[in-house]
Each structure stands twice: as structure tokens, then as C-alpha cells.
Structure 1
Amino acid sequence: MPAERPTIVATSAGWRRRERGGLDWAGTALEAVRLARVPTTRRPRLTYLGTAGGDQRTWAAEVHAAGARAGLDTTVLDLFPMPSVEDPALHLLDADVVWVGGGSVANLLAVWRVHGLDTAFRAAWEAGVVLGGVSAGSICWFTGGTTDSFGPQLRAVTNGLGLLPYGNGVHYDSEARRRPLVHALVGEGTLGETHCTDDGVGLVYAGTELVEAVAEVDGKGAYVVRREAGGEVVETRLEPRRLPS
């Protein structure tokens, strides 16, 4: 039973630190699992991609441990040094949720395209697999966004997968240069309408429609940045629905 409509959960969130070390899946990632409408007769199947971070094996271990604690059947799809499964496209279609980690969105997009995952992700999305991720794993679903993939100075990336026809701004409250760069890029037309998230916040899309913002912590927001007909850039805050702790 796939998601009711093609679904994406794009976030600056998804993890929480454990008191005694390690990480657990947090509210926005668990919301993606809920939206997948998995039958109660089996465990949800989540596939994680750490391409943006170079497929670090230590991080994969954290993903598997967090998945076990959350009651998920977890797989990790590596692309370094070669794909870890025979047919990555079929593997994605077999998942209920695909979650993409942070790192270099520019490198992620290049590697995915080499392996044909750009078309594979569209097929999975249209089939009802819920797509989600944090930071680079958020920007990738959009037309582009702001990134430090090229060095310490933030720059635009404009070759996202384009499943969602907007720009995306992550870490909107925690990195001071993000907001002014988004406004500048929207103002000059490099990015169109751009959807942004504070740390701890996610955006839920049904098809290409933004249906709500959700948050793992209090006091955070999401934002829509548009260029008006007269050229003025306008930012509108969206109040997120607070997810259970």
C-alpha cells in the first residue's frame, strides 16, 4: 500500500542524539514512514543513501542501529566504490521510504546521474515510495538551492532533480548566510519560488503541492520566498505542526 500521492518530506531535520551516544530517527523521518501507509502485517522498509557524504561505513552502522530501534527493516544503498545492489532502480522501488543524508549535494547529483538514479527516483516517487532527506537530501528533490558543496562560501546549485518545481533553502536559522543568499537568488531569478526550513523543520509535499510544515522542536519555522511582480522579494513564514517527541 504505497503513499496516497507521490510524497516528499524535505527537511533540515530527521535525527536526534541519544543520551548515551549514537543517533535515533526523529519526527520528520518518522513522519515519512507514517505517510508510506505500510500495512501493520510487516515492518516498514527504509532505504538510506549516504552518497552526499561519500557512503561512510561508520554512518551506515548508525543508520542500521537506529532503524532497528525504530522497528524498521533498513537497507543502505551505497554507490562507492560501486553500487551495493545488482539493480539500484528496482531496490528503490521495493522500499516504502527512501531517506537521503546530508553532505555535498553537487557531488550527490553528479554521482546519481552517472548511475541513472535521476530517472529511478522519479519512477519510485510516482509509484508511491516516500522520498525524504536532510540538507543535501532535501535540496536534491528541488530545482536547486544554496550549498557549500563548492567551498566555504555558499553558492547556488541549480541542477536538482526537479521533482518539486521550487528552490530549497536548508539550515535557514542556523547559518547566517543562508537567508540573504536565498533572497538574492530569488530576486535575480536564479531560483524561482523557494521553500526554506529552520533546523528541526520539514516540508511535506503531495505531488508538487506543499501541504504542510512539520517540526521536531518548538519555536522553529518554514518559509516561502517569492519575487513579486514589481521585483520585490517577499518572505512568508509558515507555522509548522509540532510532531510528537
Structure 2
Amino acid sequence: MAKKNRGTLKRFFGAGALPSEEQFSDLIDSSLNVIDEGFNKSPEHGFEISAQGDYERMLSFFRNSASQSPAWTISYDKNRDNLTFNKVDYDNSAKPVVTLNPKGQVGIAKDQPEWTLDVGGVVSAYGRIGASDADKKTIPADGQWHNITEVLSGCHGLEVMAGVGSPRTGKYALMNAIALNTFNPSGWFFNFLNLKKRIRYHQAYYFSFTNKLKLRWHGKGRQYTLQLRTNCNYGKEIQVRYYLTRLWFHEDMSESWAEQSKQIDP
């Protein structure tokens, strides 16, 4: 039994022809079967593809009809529900290029992403910008302290990029800072000179050092926020623009003992 092209099949079933059993078999083998091939189309789901047996490859893309191995494939991992776009080498080994998982995470050159975007290689970009969950991205440049985070607890690491300027006054300032805090230690003796939660700056300003920007941790007990202000009043309606980037994602440090606890026999 063999697959035939349309021209050959038409000759088998032309006027006055008497097709043989083998030719009928060729016709069947040359047609798609929704059960055997795992293809279907329905109004509800559109074009449907089902994995067959233990194979993970759902689609293969060949350079031409004479190619023995595909150039690209799309595979579906039944155990993890991951969908992966693969580049296939000439030895038929597949390397993951893009992987999507049910958590909404995307892996680039990684078949098991752990983050929203997990890149197993070098990232090239013209720039990067921080973001926050809140819509607020500015504070008044009035010399007063303003919260730039929600109420925090536990351990946090943040990068802050902020800038402010007032035209025709010479008042301009830029700040980049790294702010770390572990459960907000306080007290003049226990946290002498804020050495346990110090904020490190890179600053630039144009006219006077009084135009600079400043950060501080503010709060009582284990609850705290990060605050930002200008050292002087820049004038009415002048705003400080800032961007936040989170650098640490294990607030209670449970990752420090999680692996060890897995090894303990209950």
C-alpha cells in the first residue's frame, strides 16, 4: 500500500476504469483520517490536533518534499502540558527555541521555564525599564516624603531609577539606587546608622546638591515602605518620575530550607 498523488488516483478511477483492491487501498492511504492522523475541525474548537501514541511531535516543517528530516517542529509534552517550538538539527535532534507552559510562562531556549520570561541565553536590548503593580509612577517634587511601594514585609531588594527637572531653573537630578531590607531592623542601637538596611546611590545633578533625590525605608516593626523625596521644593506641578525593579522574590527566605526539608524523611 502506498500514498499516491492526485493525478495517479484520478487515472485509477477514470471513466471505464475498474479499480483493484490495491488501488482502493492506495486511495484510502492517500487520504487523511481524522482518527488515525489526529486531525479534526469543529465549529467550537476550530482546527484540532491530537497527539498520537507516545509521540510528542504535533507539527513538523520540512524544507521541501524530498527532505528526510524536518527543519522545525512543534511538540506537546503531555506530562507538563508544555508546547515547544523546536529547531531540528541534521541528526534529527531537537533543540527548544520557545516553550509555553500552563502557568503563562515563556521559555526562550529553555524547555522548562520557571519565570514569566525565562531566557537560556544572552539578551540584547536598547534599554530596560522598571515597573510596579500600581499605576502611580510619579510623586510631587515638593521636598516631602512619598511612598513609592505598597506596605512590605520580609526581605526585599529593589532598584530605583528616578529623575526630575524644572525648566529654566537649573534644577535637574537623576538617581539610581539599590535598596535592600531584611525584616526592617530598627532602633538606634540595634540598627546603628541604618547599616543593616543601607541604600546605595549613584547621583547626578546640574545646579546644586540640594536638587538631589533621596530614599529611605519607613515603617514600624516588620511592616515598612520605601519612600522618595527631593531635597528641595522644585516648584508647583513639578513631578519626580521613577521606575522600580524587583531584584529579590523570596520574601520569607523559605527557599533557603525548602530543598533541605524535602530530603528529611517524615
- Give the TM interval when normalised to the shorter protein: under 0.3
Structure number with higher helix proportion = 1
Bigger Rg over Cα: 2
Structure with the larger RCO, 1 or 2 (CA within 8 Å, 6+ apart)? 1
| TM, length-normalised to structure 1 | 0.20
Give the number of the structure whose residues are more often strand, by fraction. 2
Q: With the length of structure 2 as denominator, give the TM-score of the two structures.
A: 0.19
